[in-house]
């Protein structure tokens, strides 16, 4: 398994993209099997990179992908997560990762349960949230099957370790947004459970660049501008 150690969501995207371009299986969209990315130290969005990414790829690339994983509960009190879900009609349990975490099968709030357990069990090995539903997803081949399968959480003295397991990660299209959203989810859980965030890890069964025929121009422009600005 190849492991990338990054110090921010931006660094995770840049390192992963470079590695896949140079080492990925070009017969399968520059794929790497069982690739892991670890983010420590800085879990915040780099405003300069974020602005550049949005300018080149468009706002929707980040906003949509991020909202699939984490929706900040700013408008409704979070103490009753199901009530929050009911008030926000845009949250559909079977349509987004967040919907499945906050209201599994429209009956169970995994986020609320997770926060409670993080508070009560500081060295737990059994705190996790499911996204993949074998009953509804097991029949699907590609379209509609969630890329994120589950999120594992390990609270320890030094902080919270959050590990997200993906069946597939398309780095060029949504990798950056995935890491941004997971960092926001981790920070939110830590804030609620009074913990420090220690590490965000993603493990992808298939980590790839997708159809680069549609991405090459944008990717080259982003790397060119970013490297130029940071070499001064």
- The gap between the terminal CA atoms of the chain, to the nearest Å, is 35
pLDDT of residue 94: 59
Dist CA 146 CA 94 (whole Å): 10
Using pLDDT thresholds of 50, 70 and 90, give the confidence band for residue 217.
confident
Dist CA 194 CA 231 (whole Å): 39
pLDDT of residue 84: 45
Kind plus residue range of the DSSP H or E element containing 221: helix 216-230
Q: Please state at what angle helix 176-193 crosses helix 110-120, rounded to 10 degrees.
A: 50
User: Is residue 157 predicted with pLDDT exceeding 60?
Assistant: yes
Q: For residues 172-180, give the mean pLDDT.
A: 90
60-98 pLDDT per residue, tens: 878 877 878 887 665 444 444 444 444 454 445 456 888
The lowest-confidence range among 20-24, 47-51, 181-185, 210-214 is 210-214
Break the chain into its structural domains and give their ranges.
3-66+122-230
pLDDT of residue 133: 86
Residue 218 near residue 56, CB atoms below 8 Å: yes
Residue 115 near residue 193, CB atoms below 8 Å: yes
8-47 pLDDT per residue, tens: 999 999 999 999 999 999 999 999 999 999 999 899 999 9
């Amino acid at each position: 398994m190849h492991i990338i150690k990054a110090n921010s969501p931006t660094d995770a995207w840049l390192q992963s993209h470079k590695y896949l371009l140079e080492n990925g299986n070009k017969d399968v969209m520059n794929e790497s099997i069982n690739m892991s990315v670890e983010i420590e130290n800085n879990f915040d969005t780099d405003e300069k990179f974020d602005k550049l990414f949005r300018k080149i790829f468009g706002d929707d690339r980040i906003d949509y992908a991020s909202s699939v994983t984490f929706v900040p509960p700013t408008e409704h009190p979070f103490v009753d997560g199901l009530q929050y879900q009911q008030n926000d009609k845009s949250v559909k349990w079977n349509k987004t990762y967040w919907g499945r975490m906050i209201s599994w099968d429209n009956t169970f709030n995994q986020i609320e349960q997770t926060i409670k357990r993080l508070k009560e069990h500081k060295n737990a090995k059994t705190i996790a949230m499911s996204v993949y539903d074998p009953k509804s997803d097991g029949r699907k081949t590609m379209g509609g099957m969630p890329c994120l399968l589950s999120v594992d959480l390990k609270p320890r003295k030094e902080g919270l370790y959050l590990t997200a397991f993906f069946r597939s990660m398309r780095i060029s299209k949504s990798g950056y947004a995935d890491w941004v959203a997971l960092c926001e989810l981790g920070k939110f859980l830590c804030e609620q459970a009074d913990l420090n965030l220690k590490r965000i890890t993603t493990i992808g069964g298939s980590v790839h660049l997708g159809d680069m025929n549609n991405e090459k121009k944008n990717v080259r422009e982003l790397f060119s501008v970013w490297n130029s600005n940071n070499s001064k």
